[in-house]
Structure 1
Amino acid sequence: MSKIHVIGAGLSGMAAAYFCKKQLSNRVYLYDPGDKKGASFVGAGLLHPFVGPKALLSEKGMESMEVTALLLEVAKQAQQQDNREKIILGRGLYRLAMNEFQKNMLDRWCRRYGSYVEKVDSTTLDKQGTLKNVLGVYKIKEGRSINMELYLEGLKNAFLDS
């Protein structure tokens, strides 16, 4: 049995620790100050594979979303009953094209990854007319908005229980 040391109990650290312990049956030591001040705790909690102002697909982005869906389920099952449904705050994320470059890039993603991204009619979302300068609204269907603290707490519980 190998000994593995993981520094940090944020998104990457908890995922690595959980999988190393669960799937590889390793002895895993997790080091974290527990102050909840790291990037994972202050992040917006928006999960999707398209990043940056150019909306580029992350390397292994689709595969990452599949693993994330599994980890979300693991965290939910390890969370207290009354918090399970509070981990995922919303399903589907909207991305606005603010310039021609972004619009062209997002239109390309709709053509290439139509099962993941779709262009939506902005008038159905915009009751006050605040999106009038937006060139397009796109829905990342598998995107998620999550409660980072509850998600990480659930992963930690799953890690400790495995």
Structure 2
Amino acid sequence: MIRKTIDQTCLLGLRKNSTFNRLSRCSVVGNSGSLLHSNCGRHIDEAEFVYRCNAAPLKPFAADAGTKSNLTSFNPSIFRKRYKGIAKQSYLKKFVSDMQQYHGYLWGACFSRSSTLAMCMKAISGYNIKESVFVLAHPNHFKYFQDYWIRRGKNNYLSTGKVSQEEQTK
């Protein structure tokens, strides 16, 4: 976890209550490929709210995983893996182009490391998509997440993919 001072302006910008109302039907869609050949896309898209993990590509898997998105998480490792750390303008353009398929909120956990924060800031600086809003996770997100799993005897960092492989998550 990085130590970063959050100034008063940034702190005042953090919401004190939920952005979302209670919903009667939601879909949670991961990126592990478990929906491949399921033809669940239409059913997923009929939900009031669709949460997608790790900004998986939508168009190639529309029949199986749908295309609707209201909140899409964006793991910082994706900046390194898919967009080469946004080291060049061409990678930033590809990131912005790829993100146009999502609507609603893109949620990034950018405060995990100082290098991750720098990549996120580069991405946000070039982000100009009107259909979605890029929001940042609370700076303590990773600390609380890691503490939760350590208290349950899981000492390694658990990804959404790893958790979905567990027979039972306690």
Higher strand share: 1
> How would you bin the TM-score normalised by the shorter chain?
under 0.3
Give the TM-score normalised by structure 1: 0.27
Q: Tell me the TM-score normalised to structure 2 length.
A: 0.26
Higher relative CO (Cα under 8 Å, sequence separation at least 6) belongs to: 1
